[in-house]
Chain A
Amino acid sequence: MAGRVHIAIASGKGGTGKTTISVSLANWFAKLGRKVALLDCDVEEPNANLFLKTEIRVRETIYTPVPGVDEDRCTGCGRCEEVCNFNAIVIIQKKPLVLPDLCHSCGGCIMECPEKAIYEVQKEIGILEEGYNDGIIYAGGRLKIGQPVAPPLIKALKSNCYSADVRIIDAPPGTSCPVVESLRGCDCAVLVTEPTPFGLNDLKLAVGMARRLGIPFGILINRSDIGNNSIIDYCREENIELIASVPHSRLIAEAYSRGDFIDEFHSSFPHVFDALTAFAERYSGTGRSS
């Protein structure tokens, strides 16, 4: 295999098996002797390292800039409140009150303040952690509880591990901003789904998102024997690549519940990993990662 590949593992619906696929694929590539990094971009609920069990060697606190007010300089003119499109500054009794959780860190208030009374202070949004184990570099983010906005943390996380040959991005569920930030710049994406009405509905959303972002993608059906043929039919109608199907296995579900399913998964379904490897190979060196 030549060239680097950044592959995202995503899904509209939660709990379809993104992390299961991400960590076992990372292990698979590591066994093939590839230099692998796994980035857990589900910073709200990071779970990949519960399975990789990498010892964290580096921890870094991540901040985002929010406005601070120099009250000696502030005249209470209200220009900051006027220009903030996010209602993150309100003037109360001629004094600006900053609501940091609403701030998008655009810098608009600082540029507009006629008295230069606004400066930036750093607000903690979470931590990044990194470690190395069994040939896999693990990097993950952990959003601070109560912080609403994950994308800046995901952005900081994604600026790491560029030296890896294979960069696996374990994305959060959904189709909104944290997912977009996770998928941005990836060469290809695997959309993990299950053959149920919820699975199909959310898959369609994920497909729409991947198309809007212009990222080539294929589909992996997990627990392929639990529902109906709707996903296969949908892939056929939409001319979408079906990478592989994984049947439900109570044995693996139980191993997953304990946190040690990877070897069992590899030996039960080697064809799934061959298919995923071939899929990734096709996009290696093609895109933005190289």
Chain B
Amino acid sequence: MTVRELVVISGKGGTGKTSIVASLAALSGTSVLADCDVDAADLHLILSPAVQKEGDFIGGLVALTDQNKCTQCGKCAEVCRFDAFQENYEVDPIACEGCGVCERICPVSAVSMIDRISGRWFISETRFGPMVHARLGLAEGNSGKLVTMLRKEARRIAQERNSQLIISDGSPGIGCPVIASIAGASSVLVVTEPTVSGIHDLERVAELTAHFNIRTFVCINKADINNSNTLSIRNLARARNFNVVAEIPYDTAFTRAQMKGLSIIEAENGETADAIRSMWETMKCEIL
């Protein structure tokens, strides 16, 4: 069976991605869930996952200087392009990218490359199905690699359990973790808002999904905050052949549900819950 993947992204942060993902998880009930926003993961706050399996994420390598061997010759610092060598040629692990050039240049083998633990991954169960998630270490990099790993796990679980769909929560922006989240996915849902920045960021995300040739849905959150901007988004979506699957009014239901640790669908009935339900029905027909 083919497993489909729906990735929820936004370009601009804070448009309501995670609340939408939690609601779609509730409506679907049988999907595998993935929190790919690894450097500010929040989905677990709503889905309260019970961790079944966890492990360290080795993001790459990091250099380490052995002061007993170091002769302070300084060759390492000369070749390092990341300014990672500090006083006494100690390595700043935040600056080090793990290329290993220093290890090879050191004449006395005082620098060695060791595994870099960049975070932790989790496979969990939630009330809406299995979930893969992670916690990237503070000020760590290689988030793209971690996202790729999570998606691979999600696909494995989906195959195992005969799930048809993976629903992923992506990160803001258009860089490495976002690219790692959407590359090869079947569909993207962009949650945007009718503000000048929301529109600007939607345009950049639209270019990105076009670049990767991925079917794109659009959800306009806080749609009533600026009607003329909402109209612009509809036009922009039409021009790109994106389906606008929901227009949600500005609604404090998002915050209220979050405070209770529930998805909007579980927390209350109303205009917003209805809009999300109808969005899910539309996307379900097109994706599956």
Contact A106 B81 (CB under 8 A): yes
Instruction: Name the contact of A257 in the complex, choosing from B79, B104, B194, B258 (C-beta under 8 A).
Output: B194
Instruction: Name the contact of B98 in the complex, choosing from A85, A179, A196, A212 (C-beta under 8 A).
Output: A85
Residues of A contacting B98 in the complex (Cβ-Cβ under 8 angstroms): 85
Contact A174 B40 (CB under 8 A): yes
Contact A107 B12 (CB under 8 A): no
For chain B, residues 199 to 217, give those with C-beta under 8 angstroms from any C-beta of chain A. Answer: 200-201, 204, 207-208, 211-212
Contact A111 B101 (CB under 8 A): yes
**Closest CB in chain B relative to A258 CB, distance in Å:** 7
The answer to whether the Cβ of B243 comes within 8 Å of any Cβ in the partner chain is no
The answer to whether the Cβ of B106 comes within 8 Å of any Cβ in the partner chain is no
The answer to whether the Cβ of B196 comes within 8 Å of any Cβ in the partner chain is yes
**Closest CB in chain A relative to B199 CB, distance in Å:** 9
**Closest CB in chain B relative to A262 CB, distance in Å:** 13
Residues of A contacting B82 in the complex (Cβ-Cβ under 8 angstroms): 106
Contact A45 B176 (CB under 8 A): no
The answer to whether the Cβ of A180 comes within 8 Å of any Cβ in the partner chain is yes
Chain A residue nearest to B252 in the complex (CB): A226
Contact B195 A256 (CB under 8 A): yes
Known contacts A14-B172, A106-B81, A201-B42; 13 additional CB pairs below 8 A are: A12-B39, A14-B14, A44-B175, A45-B201, A106-B82, A143-B174, A148-B176, A172-B173, A179-B39, A197-B259, A202-B42, A209-B139, A256-B195
Residues of A contacting B258 in the complex (Cβ-Cβ under 8 angstroms): 196-198, 227
Query: What separation, in Å, do the CA atoms of A173 and B143 have in the docked complex?
Result: 14
Can you list 30 A-B contacts (CB < 8 A)? A44-B173, A44-B204, A45-B172, A45-B174, A45-B201, A45-B204, A47-B197, A50-B197, A85-B98, A85-B100, A85-B113, A86-B60, A106-B101, A108-B99, A111-B79, A143-B174, A174-B172, A176-B141, A177-B139, A177-B140, A178-B173, A179-B139, A180-B94, A180-B141, A196-B255, A196-B258, A197-B259, A202-B42, A253-B250, A257-B196
Given A13-B42, A108-B99, A227-B259, CB of A213 within 8 Å of CB of B175? no
Query: What separation, in Å, do the CA atoms of A170 and B94 have in the docked complex?
Result: 21
Contact A150 B175 (CB under 8 A): yes
The answer to whether the Cβ of B171 comes within 8 Å of any Cβ in the partner chain is yes
Contact B104 A108 (CB under 8 A): yes
Q: How many residues on the B side are at the interface (Cβ–Cβ under 8 A)?
A: 64
Query: What separation, in Å, do the CA atoms of A112 and B79 have in the docked complex?
Result: 12
Query: What separation, in Å, do the CA atoms of A273 and B180 have in the docked complex?
Result: 39
Instruction: Name the contact of B11 in the complex, choosing from A45, A198, A208 (C-beta under 8 A).
Output: A45
Residues of B contacting A85 in the complex (Cβ-Cβ under 8 angstroms): 60-61, 98-100, 113
Contact A108 B100 (CB under 8 A): yes
Instruction: Name the contact of B226 in the complex, choosing from A105, A228, A254 (C-beta under 8 A).
Output: A254
The answer to whether the Cβ of A146 comes within 8 Å of any Cβ in the partner chain is yes
Interface flags for A177-188 (1: CB within 8 Å of B; 0: not) read 111100000000
**Closest CB in chain A relative to B16 CB, distance in Å:** 9
Chain A residue nearest to B98 in the complex (CB): A85
**Closest CB in chain A relative to B273 CB, distance in Å:** 19
Query: What separation, in Å, do the CA atoms of A175 and B18 have in the docked complex?
Result: 17
Contact A228 B39 (CB under 8 A): no
**Closest CB in chain A relative to B234 CB, distance in Å:** 15
Contact B179 A146 (CB under 8 A): yes
Query: What separation, in Å, do the CA atoms of A176 and B175 have in the docked complex?
Result: 12
The answer to whether the Cβ of A121 comes within 8 Å of any Cβ in the partner chain is no
